[in-house]
Amino acid sequence: MENTAVQRDIVNLAAVNLRAVWGDKAQNLRRILDYTVAAARRGADIITFPELALTGYEDQPDTPLGEKMHHRLAETAGGPSIAAVADCCRQLGVYVVFGLPERDPATGAVYNAAAVCGPDGPLGIYRKMHPAGDESLWCQKGEQPLLFSTPWGPVGVGICYDSYSFPELLRYYAASGARLYLNPTAMPENHRRESRSFYRDTLYAAVHQNDIFLVSANLVSEDVIDPGYRWRLPAGPGIPQPATFLGGSLVIGPGFGRRVHLYAGSPRHCEAELVLTTVDLSLANRTIYSQNPYTGTPDFRPERYQQLYGELARRQGR
């Protein structure tokens, strides 16, 4: 999806450390709209919100599927929350990406998704291709990437686990002409790995490998839950312990002095706040996808990976 039109290079990027109220879609939508207005007033062009920003994150493992919060509050692509954000984007002339549980109107399947809206209205839905952990108790796997068109060229979207453990998706976007990748995420403090270094290191590596800019927007503070809910790993018998999310929303990308530069935010920013910066996307040269002057061909070899992945798929009976 290489954009042949003249692309603008200078863009204002915003990411939001959002504290979502678990199960309160109306309040979370108000926060998304208010942050969008605030970011637009400060000059933002593209605004990224966290994974499941509309509803909160935590699953109810002992609740029947149809009664789970994400199923009860899921919306179709034409639902009222996406329509409200799209109207706000039309009025302000901005692009917004935010996480929500999305229902397929044809099949009824529910997905962990990110909606994309812009100055012309809704632009698409990305369905998380790699649900993490117990997300699979309530959502289906997505099947398709999403590149959406902007004056700055195509922009790719992934969600959380897609970005940290499956580099193929981001590489597909970069090889398709994207200079910018957006990562709505829900990275908790109590991840089984040391979460901040895992979060930082994988995102920095993605930028280093692909020479593109990356915006990551994370939930922050506790996931607010109903009084009867118990965290799946309680601190003690009967003690509720909701997940605590680390925040850390940031904008990173290629720089002059180093391969990966932190433009705004930090993995250690753990307050509800908006981070905003201006970047020059012309620094995202994506060199491995360009013609190598010594060989006359790109270093990136998708035809070889197609063969290798085909062999792996056959071994797994896919």
Average pLDDT estimate for 301-310? 91
How sure is the predictor about 256, in pLDDT bands with cuts at 50, 70 and 90?
confident
**121 in the Ramachandran plot: left (φ > 0), alpha (ψ -120 to 50) or beta?**
left
Digit-coded pLDDT (tens) for 34-81: 999 999 999 999 999 999 999 999 888 888 999 999 999 999 999 999
Contact 177, 149 (CB under 8 A): no
Q: What does pTM read for this prediction?
A: 0.92
- The answer to whether 192 touches 164, Cβ cutoff 8 Å, is no
Average predicted confidence (pLDDT) for the chain? 91
Is the pLDDT at 229 greater than 70? The verdict is no
The Cα 108–Cα 95 span in angstroms is 28
pLDDT at residue number 170: 96
Residue 182: band (very low, low, confident or very high) from pLDDT cuts 50, 70, 90: very high
- So what's the pLDDT on residue 226? 54
Whether residue 140 has pLDDT greater than 80: yes
Q: How many residues are recorded in the chain?
A: 318
CATH of span 10-285: 3.60.110.10
Residue boundaries of the structural domains of the chain: 10-285
For residue 243, is pLDDT > 80? no
- Determine the angle formed by the axes of helices 195-210 and 167-175, rounding to 10 degrees: 30
For the record, the structure tokens of 74 come out as 């899921």
pLDDT at residue 169 in the model: 96
- The predicted structure's pLDDT at residue 224: 60
